[in-house]
Chains A and B, each alone.
Chain A
Amino acid sequence: MRASGTRTLLLAAFAFAAAPAAAQTSQFEKYQKMVGEDSPAELFVLVGADLWRKKQGPKKASLEKCDLGKGPGVVKGAYAALPRYFKDSNQVMDAESRILYCMETLQGRSRKDALKRPFGNADKPSEMEYLDAFVASQSDGYKMTPGMSHPQEKRAYELGKALFFARTGLYDFSCASCHGEAGKRIRMSDLPVLSEPGPARAAMSTWPAYRVSNSQMKTMQWRINNCYRQMRTPEPDWGSEVVNSMITYLTVNAKGATYAGPGTKR
């Protein structure tokens, strides 16, 4: 009786230990780990730090006094606590929206001017990409704690969730069409189920990210924009309620993750 009890216990322990291993490190994951070491992402962080301190705009001011949610001038840990509601703008804002807000209010730049070129390319990254990389880097190692208590934060979450499952565009896709079932991939790219905490944490803790395949730093505003492009819809407005609610929904699903950005991806 004793022996079989011990054997059962041992088998149970083995099964437990084996389960995570059996949950397969895919080739795709191995590749991501490999390219993450010594990544050009760091260059974006360093240039972003310079731009953060650069005096610009009609007010000839830097972004150093920007309030990213933790008080004016506090960058450490701010990215990991976004998106959240801001009283001064009366909106739920993600990191990029907030950086833009500071460009407008601290530097006196017009929204139109500051948003002239939010997404760059390999030859010429955008200012926002450098800044977002810098801000994100200052949250490396922090726990992700997006705002979840203010009524507008709750609404953003619910709207993001509704959008996640809404069938739309020429191809009738919802986000869930690709990101709704475990173990699936599109060509050779694994597709995380972003409505689930586990996969959401792994995904959201590594954006913005340097994309090795096209040598660009890609941000969350870009990521949502690019999904809709592939869904064959018209283009969503940058920093709109649609995009920011989607980012909120995904980040809330990822809450508790240790932020590890900026990341490096395929």
Chain B
Amino acid sequence: MAGPMKARARMQGNYADVRVLMSHPMETGQRKGRDGKPIPKHFIQNLEVRLNGKTVIEGEISQAVSRNPVFSFRIGGAKAGDKIEISWTDNNGDTNKTETAVA
């Protein structure tokens, strides 16, 4: 079951400043547990950002990203009130998403 996920979006001039905070272990598969055995890989693989239902960003990320990723980006052509939805899928097939309105 995925941990909390939050997003904030604010107009800055002509673009929206968006910040997404995710909780995810982002386990590389290299780390060893107390028993000496490697902890299985468990990381976000795909990230999608939709503006008013239309996909604007499709990202592939890897285990190089650290635990509890923070993703911040700007969207041109957005305006106050627009709906931004961010979703992820990890290598286990788990997903999570959150949405926010541009302030």
Contacts and interface: CB of A to CB of B under 8 A. Distances in A.
A100 B23 CA distance: 25
B19 A43 contact: no
Interface residues of A, number: 11
Nearest to A40: B68
Contacts of B19: 38, 42
A47 B4 contact: yes
A174 B67 CA distance: 35
Contacts of B21: 40, 42-43, 46
B68 A46 contact: no
Q: Is the interface of B mostly helix, strand, loop or mixed?
A: strand
Contacts, number: 33
B38 to A, nearest CB: 17
Contacts of B70: 38-40, 42-43
A123 B6 contact: no
Nearest to A215: B67
Nearest to A212: B66
Interface string B64-76: 0011101010000
Interface of A: 38-40, 42-43, 46-47, 122-123, 212, 215
Given A42-B19, A43-B6, 10 more contacts: A38-B19, A38-B70, A39-B70, A40-B68, A42-B21, A43-B4, A43-B5, A43-B22, A43-B23, A123-B25
